[in-house]
């Protein structure tokens, strides 16, 4: 007798908004959560299985646990329609400088929980091996360049190239936390049969593990991303951008093509 599948979906698990100002940094965050559960179905121990220990049946019948945590490739749309004052109005901290670029992103995670379980007939015993899929993504992500830096201009190119550095940081951060979460969930839920008094207890345990492993990343993402983005928005980078912008202006006045820096 094959173990029956457990199927439930948690979509979306959470959402966090982070904003990073390209060239002049900005940070803000919004956190929202929804949680949904579905019913569990399980095989009952019966027939020849009744002559073996419950543990032996579980070890033989249940397929291996499956843990999969993926970081989706970052995708974004570009908005060139807003003025610098409108970008600043989005809540960006400009530090006394004019905000010419901005990247906004929502960090989302979706969780699908399935697996297989067996209940012992007439007794309060239940075993399971879960199948957990976690999908992490930044969606939507928007890259803004102020319309004072029109597309095709030297200033636009410089601001855009700086924004790309912020986007790369987002992808690196996402890849990193996906590996961390995958390792943690494999240690907690993979490689062993989980035993409980009931299906409900097993479900609650797995939900608790998922909450404990995902919540710190969701709740701390603002702080963690700020640390990484500040490495991009360094005094040295600001100085480089100022020199590049000055070079753009000087060469534009002289009718020359600007050099890349």
Rounded-to-integer distance, Cα 188 and Cα 204, Å = 14
User: Among the residues of 36-153, which ranges form H helices?
Assistant: 54-61, 84-88
Rounded-to-integer distance, Cα 138 and Cα 42, Å = 35
Structural domain of 88: 4-254
This prediction has a pTM of: 0.76
Helix axes 154-189, 199-232, angle to 10 degrees: 150
Task: Indicate the Cα dihedral angle 236, 237, 242, 243, nearest 10°.
Answer: 70
Q: How many domains in the chain?
A: 1
Which tokens go with 173?
A: 């951060």
**Per-position pLDDT tens, the chain of length 261:** 455 555 443 333 333 434 443 332 222 223 223 223 333 335 555 555 556 889 999 999 999 999 999 999 999 999 999 999 999 888 665 566 788 999 998 888 889 888 899 998 778 899 999 999 999 999 899 999 999 999 999 999 999 999 999 999 999 999 999 999 999 999 999 989 999 999 899 989 998 999 888 888 877 877 888 888 888 888 898 889 889 989 988 877 776 554 554
Rounded-to-integer distance, Cα 81 and Cα 63, Å = 54
- What is residue 230's predicted lDDT score, i.e. its pLDDT? 84
In a domain, 260, yes or no: no
Q: Is 103 left (phi over 0), alpha (psi -120 to 50) or beta?
A: beta
Q: Are 231 and 173 in contact (CB under 8 A)?
A: no
In a domain, 261, yes or no: no
Q: Are 87 and 25 in contact (CB under 8 A)?
A: no
- What is residue 90's predicted lDDT score, i.e. its pLDDT? 80
In a domain, 236, yes or no: yes
Rounded-to-integer distance, Cα 3 and Cα 199, Å = 13
In a domain, 127, yes or no: yes
CB atoms within 10 A of CB 15: 17
In a domain, 50, yes or no: yes
Rounded-to-integer distance, Cα 178 and Cα 113, Å = 17
In a domain, 149, yes or no: yes
Rounded-to-integer distance, Cα 131 and Cα 115, Å = 4
In what helix (H) or strand (E) does residue 120 lie, and over which residues does it extend? none
In a domain, 218, yes or no: yes
In a domain, 259, yes or no: no
Q: Are 57 and 49 in contact (CB under 8 A)?
A: yes
């Amino acid at each position: 007798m094959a173990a029956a599948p457990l199927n439930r979906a948690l979509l979306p698990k959470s959402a966090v908004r982070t904003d990073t100002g390209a060239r002049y940094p900005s940070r803000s965050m919004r956190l929202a959560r929804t949680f949904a559960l579905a019913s569990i179905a399980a095989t009952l121990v019966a027939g020849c299985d009744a002559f073996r220990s419950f543990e032996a049946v579980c070890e033989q019948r249940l397929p291996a646990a499956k843990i999969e945590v993926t970081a989706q490739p970052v995708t974004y749309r570009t908005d060139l329609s807003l003025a610098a004052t409108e970008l600043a109005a989005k809540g960006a901290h400009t530090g006394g400088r004019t905000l010419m670029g901005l990247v906004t992103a929502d960090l989302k995670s979706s969780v699908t929980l399935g697996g297989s379980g067996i209940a012992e007939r007439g007794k309060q015993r239940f075993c399971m091996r879960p199948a957990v899929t976690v999908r992490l993504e930044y969606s939507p992500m928007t890259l803004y360049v102020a319309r004072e830096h029109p597309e095709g201009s030297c200033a636009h190119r410089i601001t855009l190239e700086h924004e790309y550095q912020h986007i790369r940081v987002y992808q690196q951060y996402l890849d990193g936390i996906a590996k961390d979460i995958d390792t943690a969930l494999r240690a907690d839920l993979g490689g062993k049969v989980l035993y409980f008094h009931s299906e409900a207890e097993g479900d609650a345990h797995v939900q608790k593990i998922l909450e404990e492993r995902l919540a710190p990343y969701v709740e701390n993402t603002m702080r963690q991303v700020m640390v990484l983005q500040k490495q991009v928005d360094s005094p040295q980078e600001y100085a480089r951008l100022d020199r590049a912008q000055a070079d753009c202006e000087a060469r534009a006045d002289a009718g020359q093509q600007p050099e890349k820096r």
